[in-house]
């Protein structure tokens, strides 16, 4: 059966010849019409549509967007802020940048609809420092939109007004964690806050109720405001509605970004048909389905899952539909949609050393297990690759990871320990045999550890 066709909602105009990121082009393609429609509606109606749509956050956790909005404290009398999480830092993920670079007005329209629905008067786009070009594009786009009264005071001649500001990060992965992001936006070190009590919906930016949404999520909101929640809920699969941007990188013939209805395409279809399969002469070995912090899947393993009616089904890795729930049931996650593929040429120890180096570098250092554990894991795996490996190092790595996950302030603890836990669980033999295997091949350019 051939793979289903892409359904491009968010990426409708991405890479379209002649489509530019200025306001005129966006308006020519029907832009801001949905905002015009929306500001004439009662805000509660839009919130209701989003709730009905079943939209789940596209940043990584898959938290239901409408429910997130409903948690916001609207009785405090404090202003409500919208913070747009454009700190797209998860390795393997490259979707938001295309929206920002090629279709920024789509995001701005989504922001404005969200702000209007939630009575937000100030929105901040927190964009990662490594996207200087994207920040300039967004600022230009906001200026254009403001001049045309799509944002700023008196939006489209109504009494409603909302300002959008772009804030550039300084290059830290942890700023993608929503409370770390808020701290950074307030001008502090991005130390994630303890929850309870600092849930953004109640005590967020400047201790005011705050909604933090991903760039892609807000673009979906725009679409939902157009077609309605019920119509949107029919896209994708139940509880996994809409479309999803998938970023495929690694050892495939055609890496790239694709948009599919959630759950309508399997991992196998994505990799073999859409991405053209493995490189010539190679075989797939493993795949990380949702950004580098998601647990790795090993080709050849299978999962026995319970159906709704109580019967059981068995899935191979290739059979897994790319939705939130099935991936979670298979012990990993849809995450940020970054699919990282590794073929049989991959040295799993070296691959883990690479991931561990990233997380050790990005740990903010606030709480003990992640701060010390992430660097320790990096030191072990780097030593295994570049210096003496021991047969017991795999078990030690797993034990260190087990001491981190679930014991930290923020989800970084899981993000940095899940790769190690899953690599050891699925490729433990490779780690055990590594000292012997290394004797055979000395890696080129290996650095001596001091």
CA-closest candidate to residue 243, choices 53, 83, 63, 93: 53
* Residue number with CB closer to another protein (31 or 200): 200
Candidates 365, 428, 430, 437; binder of another protein (CB under 8 A) is 365
Interacting residues of 165 by C-beta distance below 8 A, sequence separation 6+: 122, 123, 124, 125
CA-closest candidate to residue 270, choices 282, 280, 257: 257
Nearest distance, CB of residue 369 and another protein, angstroms: 6
Please report the sign of the dihedral spanned by the C-alpha atoms of residue 264, residue 269, residue 271, residue 274.
Answer: negative
Q: Is 150 in the site for another protein (CB under 8 A)?
A: no
Binding segment for another protein among 85-93, 201-209, 296-304, 361-369 (CB under 8 A)?
Answer: 361-369
* Residue number with CB closer to another protein (16 or 130): 130
CA-closest candidate to residue 95, choices 11, 211, 19: 11
Q: Is 369 in the site for another protein (CB under 8 A)?
A: yes
Binding segment for another protein among 152-160, 161-169, 245-253, 354-362 (CB under 8 A)?
Answer: 354-362
Q: Is 172 in the site for another protein (CB under 8 A)?
A: yes
CA-closest candidate to residue 335, choices 274, 292, 281, 380: 292
DSSP secondary structure, 274-312, as one string? IS--SSTT--EEEEESSSTTSPPEETT-EEEEE-TTS-E
Interaction pattern, residues 374-393, with another protein; x per rule: CB under 8 A: xxx--xx--x----------
Q: Which residues pair with 232 in a beta bridge?
A: none
Candidates 403, 425, 435, 437; binder of another protein (CB under 8 A) is 403
- DSSP structural state of residue 148: T
* Residue number with CB closer to another protein (27 or 395): 395
Contacts of another protein in 250-269 (CB under 8 A): none
What H or E segment, with its residue span, contains residue 379?
helix 368-386
| E strand segments, 64-150 | 81-86, 122-127
Binding segment for another protein among 148-156, 212-220, 304-312, 401-409 (CB under 8 A)?
Answer: 401-409
Taking the chain, what is the end-to-end CA distance rounded to the nearest angstrom?
A: 55
What is the rounded distance in angstroms from the CA atom of residue 425 to the CA atom of residue 295?
10
Q: Is 366 in the site for another protein (CB under 8 A)?
A: yes
Interaction pattern, residues 187-206, with another protein; x per rule: CB under 8 A: --x-x--x-xx---------
* Residue number with CB closer to another protein (143 or 194): 194
Q: Is 325 in the site for another protein (CB under 8 A)?
A: no
Site size toward another protein, by CB under 8 A: 36
User: Which residues contact another protein by CB under 8 A?
Assistant: 172, 189, 191, 194, 196-197, 360-369, 371-376, 379-380, 383, 396, 399, 402-404, 406-409, 449-450
């Amino acid at each position: 059966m051939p793979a289903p066709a892409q359904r491009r909602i968010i990426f409708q105009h991405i890479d379209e010849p002649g489509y530019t990121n200025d306001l005129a082009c966006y308006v020519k393609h029907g832009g801001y019409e949905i905002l015009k429609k929306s500001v004439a509606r009662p805000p509660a109606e839009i919130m209701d549509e989003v709730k009905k749509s079943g939209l789940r956050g596209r940043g990584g956790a898959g938290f239901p967007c409408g429910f997130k909005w409903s948690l916001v404290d609207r009785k405090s009398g404090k202003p409500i802020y919208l913070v747009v999480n454009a700190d797209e830092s998860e390795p393997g993920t490259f979707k938001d940048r295309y929206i920002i670079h090629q279709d920024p007005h789509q995001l701005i329209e989504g922001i404005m609809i969200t702000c209007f629905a939630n009575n937000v008067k100030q929105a901040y786009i927190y964009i990662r420092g490594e996207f200087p070009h994207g920040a300039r594009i967004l600022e230009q786009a906001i200026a254009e939109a403001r001049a045309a009264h799509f944002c700023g005071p008196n939006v489209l001649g109504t009494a409603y007004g909302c300002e959008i500001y772009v804030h550039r990060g300084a290059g830290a992965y942890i700023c993608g964690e929503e409370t770390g992001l808020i701290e950074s936006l307030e001008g502090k070190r991005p130390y994630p806050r303890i929850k309870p009590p600092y849930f953004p919906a109640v005590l967020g930016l400047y201790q005011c109720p705050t909604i933090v949404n991903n760039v892609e999520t807000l673009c979906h909101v725009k679409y939902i405001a157009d077609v309605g929640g019920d119509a949107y809920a029919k896209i994708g699969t139940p509880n996994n509605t809409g479309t999803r941007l998938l970023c495929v990188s690694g050892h495939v013939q055609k890496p790239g970004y694709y948009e599919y209805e959630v759950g309508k395409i399997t991992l196998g279809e994505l990799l073999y048909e859409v991405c053209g399969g493995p490189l010539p002469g190679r075989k797939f070995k493993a795949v990380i389905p949702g950004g580098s912090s998601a647990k790795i899947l090993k080709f050849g393993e299978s999962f026995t899952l319970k159906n709704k009616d109580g019967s059981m089904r068995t899935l191979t890795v290739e059979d897994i539909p790319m939705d939130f729930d099935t991936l979670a049931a298979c012990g990993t996650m849809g995450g940020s949609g970054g699919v990282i593929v590794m073929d049989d040429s991959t040295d799993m120890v070296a691959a883990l050393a690479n991931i561990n180096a990233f997380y050790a570098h990005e740990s903010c250092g606030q709480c003990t297990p992640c701060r010390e554990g992430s660097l320790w894991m990096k030191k072990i795996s780097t030593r295994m690759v570049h210096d003496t490996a021991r047969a017991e190092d795999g078990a030690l790595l797993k034990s260190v990871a087990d001491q981190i996950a679930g014991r930290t302030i923020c989800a970084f603890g899981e993000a940095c320990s899940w790769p190690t836990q899953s690599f050891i669980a699925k490729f433990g033999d490779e780690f055990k045999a590594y000292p012997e295997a290394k004797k055979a091949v000395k890696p080129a350019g290996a650095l001596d550890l001091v």
